[in-house]
Amino acid sequence: MHIGLGFDTGGTYTDAVLMDMSENKVLQKSKALTTRDDLTIGIGNTLVNFDKELLKKVAMVSLSSTLATNSIVEGKGCRVGLICVGEEFEMSIPVDFHTTVSGGHDLNGKEVNELDEVSAREFMVSVKDRVDGLAINSYLSVRNPDHEFRLKKIAKEVLDIPVVCGHELSSSLGYHERTTTSVMNSRLIPIIKELMDSVKTVMSEYRIDAPLMIVKGDGSIMSEDVALERPIETILSGPAASLIGAKMLTGKGDAIVMDMGGTTTDIGILRNGYPRLEKEGAMIGNRRTRVMAAEISTSGIGGDSRIIVNGSRFSLASLRVVPLCIAVTKWPQLLPRLKDVAETRSRFTPESMDTKDVVQDTEFFVKIKDLKNISLSKEDKALLELIAEEPFSLKEASSKLKVHPFVFNVSKMEELGMVQRIGLTPTDILHAEGSYTEYERAASEYAVTHQSQKMNMSEKEFVNFVKGKVIDKLAEVLLRKLFFEETNMIDIGRIGSDLMWKAISGRDGLDFGCTIRINKPLIGIGAPVSAWLPAVAGKFGTDLLLPEHSEVGNAVGAVTGSIIESMEILLKPSTGENALEDPSCIMFAPYGRFEFGKLSEAEIFAVEESSKLVKERAQKAGADHIEVRSEKIEKKVGLGKGYDGRILIETIITVMAVGKPKQFVVTE
């Protein structure tokens, strides 16, 4: 028996499965609350009731996680410095410190301006001990990475922190997307390291001596060493694993998979048995990256989404908060305080206020960790000291510290991961309704009483109202995903929006209504799906599949993936030689820029050199019995009427190494 152990660490739950890999059979499974302040606790809790003798026989541990995706969606992560070379960055993603220096190359990989190493070094010195990671991005580095190589060498001398270059993460054009990707990568390094260290600690406690693998965003897996170099590739790891798990659990090769967790809902498509990949790069938090991953739509709606009632206005925020019903099981002293809130009329709150700054009496904060070299006001320092051991609402804190509640900058401390918010969530709504009561129902009921009064509703009306909003939101993100699949357009426009909401609501307009039918089955993965997805599937007349073990589908997918490493090389004929049979050319590869007298020689070199590199990467990732294959695509255009032949614009060679983890390779 070949035994694998799969983990999925999400924003709310950590799942674990023991599998017989020779038969793809789930032997044992469990769920435990994710403990963000100490991940080892939640991971360890999943193994408490597992067979200890089977655990000792585990040959491989594989991990998927939504922590990277959630951190990006919620705007969390470490402090990052950014050096741009030859082009300003549009700052579509915030960085802590940045500079732009002279340099960069053109489309042929030739230097446009000399690299200003002096200014770059001065910037590095200025941010020493003030950033935790550095991203370096040079204009058109995918055509010549020399400037990024040189700055990375200097950074290794000046800064004792992880450094990532744009060309290391993507070979595709798109300077701003590549820069966004490298910034995200730098932010995620400590988050992924903490996760892996937590898993390894638990493995040691249970005497599990096996390699640790991590799921990439395309559903394949990689070793822990590779993950630390390229943590950005773990974005969408959880939902990619859910696609692999959904196929394994249902046998369906063509389906829509909705993976609903605590923080996000992720939607992907299985086509011909495989996740559809987004070659332009994954979209995370409405930002285009250059990460090759399953085409997943990630939306900030989950069981732990923040419910906000601001005056009489209702909204669902993407921010994950700890459900009150769960928090009270850890801090029972919150329950009588919530009872007092339920019996007290809320104060006036300006409805024009940004929702992230809205102070709700049903929300509490608790300290998670300290950060060095962070500038905080004396009020924020006092708040952190107050909430170090138990949660307090801002109203309670302001009373104790004798300051106005609006002086606390809790949203900034949330972004940095210093504090955790506790509040009313869709999970609480199910508890108040009585349809799901695993935790302390009374806490949810008190919060519903308070918030329903603000909206002049009964508790039952408020519960039904919120459930309808959650279902409609899930239906919306599903349709938007399918619209994108059909049209490759994100903006559906006013007419598309009108038709979409007619279909979701079932209400006619002045002269017409709209019905949309989905022609693929919907597979639900995740703990909350049975509560929400039946109504979603019913709106669009499609079958809903909730397979056995669906609640741990991500963990199943985590341990059943393959190891895949790929590389793309671009060959462009020299100017004026496009029509020749074997022109001279320039080769652009992740490992450098090269010139060849003949295209045929370049093709041979590209395949041979890249094959060696992808095979080495696959071996480093833990693969055995590796198959290396290459694909050549030529882009040609015709010369028009009256002319014979076609001219070559470019040749793209993709080299891929595929293998299974060596622990599970059957040999004769």
* 406-425 pLDDT tens trace: 889 888 888 888 899 999 99
| Number of C-beta neighbours around residue 544 at 10 A | 17
Nearest alpha carbon to residue 4 among 48, 86, 45, 64:
64
Q: Which residue has the tokens 């939504």?
A: 66
Residue that is last in its domain, among 430, 463, 496:
463
Nearest alpha carbon to residue 290 among 186, 177, 182:
177
In a domain, 118, yes or no: no
Residue that is last in its domain, among 463, 496, 526:
463
Q: Which whole-number Å values give the CA distances from 260 to 66, 400, 473, 479, 494, in the listed order?
A: 11, 39, 12, 15, 28
| Burial bucket for residue 576 (CB in 10 Å: 0-12, 13-18, 19+) | exposed
In a domain, 394, yes or no: yes
525-549 pLDDT, tens per residue? 988 899 999 999 999 999 999 999 9
Q: What is the CA radius of gyration of the chain?
A: 26
Residue that is last in its domain, among 447, 463, 479:
463
Q: What is the mean pLDDT of residues 562-591?
A: 88
Residue 668 has pLDDT above 50, yes or no: no
In a domain, 124, yes or no: no
Residue 386 has pLDDT above 90, yes or no: yes
State the distance between the two ends of the chain, measured CA to CA, in whole angstroms: 16
The SS3 assignment for 586 reads strand
Residues 6+ away with beta carbon under 8 Å from 338:
324, 328, 362, 442, 443, 446, 447
Residue 643 has pLDDT above 80, yes or no: no
Question: Three-state secondary structure along 54-107?
Answer: HHHCEEEEEEEECHHHHHHHCCCCCCEEEEEECCCCCCCCCCCEEEEECCCECC
166-203 pLDDT, tens per residue? 887 776 777 888 888 888 878 777 778 888 889 999 99
Looking at the structure, tell me whether residues 439 and 572 fall in a common domain.
Answer: no
Q: What is the mean pLDDT of residues 539-561?
A: 91
Give, as one character, the DSSP assignment of residue 113: S
Q: With contact defined as beta carbons under 8 Å apart, do 134 and 81 qualify?
A: yes
Looking at the structure, tell me whether residues 455 and 568 fall in a common domain.
Answer: no
Task: Categorize the per-residue pLDDT at 305 as very low, low, confident or very high, splitting at 50, 70 and 90.
Answer: very high
Instruction: Among 135-144, 453-462, 541-550, name the one with the lowest average pLDDT.
Output: 135-144
Between strands 305-310 and 313-320, the pairing is antiparallel
Residue 92 has pLDDT above 70, yes or no: no
Looking at the structure, tell me whether residues 459 and 568 fall in a common domain.
Answer: no
Task: Categorize the per-residue pLDDT at 644 as very low, low, confident or very high, splitting at 50, 70 and 90.
Answer: low
Looking at the structure, tell me whether residues 433 and 571 fall in a common domain.
Answer: no
* Burial per residue of 548-564, b for 16 or more beta-carbon CB atoms within 10 angstroms, e otherwise: ebbbbbbbbbbbbbebb
Q: What is the mean pLDDT of residues 375-404?
A: 92
CA separation for the pair 333, 335 (Å, rounded): 6
Looking at the structure, tell me whether residues 440 and 567 fall in a common domain.
Answer: no
For helices 426-433 and 441-454, what crossing angle results, to 10°? 100
Give, as one character, the DSSP assignment of residue 551: G
CA separation for the pair 48, 345 (Å, rounded): 44
Looking at the structure, tell me whether residues 333 and 459 fall in a common domain.
Answer: yes
Q: Which residue has the tokens 């609501």?
A: 505
In a domain, 276, yes or no: no
In a domain, 245, yes or no: no
Q: Give the pLDDT of residue 225.
A: 81
Q: Which residue has the tokens 């590549």?
A: 178
Q: Give the pLDDT of residue 216.
A: 85
Q: Give the pLDDT of residue 291.
A: 67
Q: Average model confidence (pLDDT) for the chain?
A: 87
In a domain, 316, yes or no: yes
Looking at the structure, tell me whether residues 449 and 570 fall in a common domain.
Answer: no
Looking at the structure, tell me whether residues 315 and 430 fall in a common domain.
Answer: yes
Q: Give the pLDDT of residue 609.
A: 94
Q: What is the mean pLDDT of residues 571-595?
A: 89
CA separation for the pair 330, 10 (Å, rounded): 19
Looking at the structure, tell me whether residues 311 and 459 fall in a common domain.
Answer: yes
Residue with the larger pLDDT of the pair 347 and 253: 253
Q: Give the pLDDT of residue 641.
A: 54
Q: Give the pLDDT of residue 528.
A: 83
| Burial bucket for residue 419 (CB in 10 Å: 0-12, 13-18, 19+) | buried
Q: What is the mean pLDDT of residues 372-385?
A: 89
Residues 6+ away with beta carbon under 8 Å from 104:
85, 86, 87, 111, 112, 113, 138, 139, 140, 147
Here the tokens at position 420 are: 């955790």
Spatial strand order in the sheet of 585-589: 592-596, 585-589, 563-573, 646-661, 623-638
Q: What is the mean pLDDT of residues 339-353?
A: 74
Q: With contact defined as beta carbons under 8 Å apart, do 386 and 397 qualify?
A: yes
In a domain, 381, yes or no: yes
Instruction: Among 242-246, 311-315, 570-574, name the one with the lowest average pLDDT.
Output: 311-315
Q: What total of structural domains would you count in the chain?
A: 2
CA separation for the pair 123, 183 (Å, rounded): 17
Q: Give the pLDDT of residue 347.
A: 63
Task: Categorize the per-residue pLDDT at 40 as very low, low, confident or very high, splitting at 50, 70 and 90.
Answer: very high
Q: Which stretches of 402-492 are DSSP H helices?
A: 410-415, 426-433, 441-454, 459-487
Nearest alpha carbon to residue 163 among 181, 186, 140:
186
Q: Which whole-number Å values give the CA distances from 284 to 51, 297, 447, 504, 558, in the listed order?
A: 38, 8, 32, 25, 21
Q: Give the pLDDT of residue 74.
A: 63
Between strands 277-278 and 293-294, the pairing is antiparallel
Residue 666 has pLDDT above 50, yes or no: no
Nearest alpha carbon to residue 146 among 196, 103, 205, 179:
103
What domain range is 373 assigned to? 305-463
Return the beta strands (E) in 513-562 as ranges: 522-525, 544-545
55-75 pLDDT, tens per residue? 989 988 999 887 776 676 666
CA separation for the pair 282, 295 (Å, rounded): 6
In a domain, 23, yes or no: no
Looking at the structure, tell me whether residues 453 and 585 fall in a common domain.
Answer: no
Q: Give the pLDDT of residue 78.
A: 74
pTM beyond 0.75:
no
Looking at the structure, tell me whether residues 596 and 448 fall in a common domain.
Answer: no
